[in-house]
Amino acid sequence: MFRSVKLTVDPDVAAWLGTRPATEWDAGNSSKSEAKHGFSIADVDSLLDAPVLFAGRIVEPAHEEPRYLLLGVTADGRGAALVFARRGEKLRPISCRAMRKKEKEAYDAGT
């Protein structure tokens, strides 16, 4: 569905996202998302406070810790793709970037 990323359905994580879990950032990930992609911690919080489309668990490329992808729109109207991990009951953002064309199409079709 998305360029170079293969996803699988994960209904448990999709349901968990509906609880609006707290986020847990580390210095590396927060600075990377803002410096490299232009999305701040506040942007990610606004993304999670709005309706999102949970795309699924990332199976390729593979990672030791399961990673997931969700799509949404920030408070200022930018389409964003958030890669995250679930750590207990907290959501750990890994990277937030602008949606790619196919991701935007999927988001528009799914919302």
Residue at 1 is within a domain: no
Question: In this predicted structure, what is the pLDDT of residue 3?
Answer: 55
Alpha helices in 18-100, H assignment, sequence order: 27-37, 41-49
Q: Could you tell me the CA-to-CA distances from 72 to 44, 58, 88 in Å, in that order?
A: 10, 17, 23
Provide the whole-model pTM: 0.89
What span, in angstroms and rounded, lies between the C-alpha atoms of 57 and 67?
6
* Range of the structural domain that residue 15 is part of: 6-110
User: Domains in the chain: how many in total?
Assistant: 1
- The candidate with the shortest Cα–Cα distance to 22, out of 87, 97, 98, is 87
What span, in angstroms and rounded, lies between the C-alpha atoms of 39 and 53?
18
Question: In this predicted structure, what is the pLDDT of residue 31?
Answer: 76
Residue at 103 is within a domain: yes
Question: In this predicted structure, what is the pLDDT of residue 1?
Answer: 45
Residue at 15 is within a domain: yes
Question: In this predicted structure, what is the pLDDT of residue 49?
Answer: 93
Residue at 99 is within a domain: yes
Task: Return averaged pLDDT per consecutive 10 residues of the chain, 111 residues in all.
Answer: 76 93 85 83 93 91 92 96 95 94 91 72
Residue at 90 is within a domain: yes
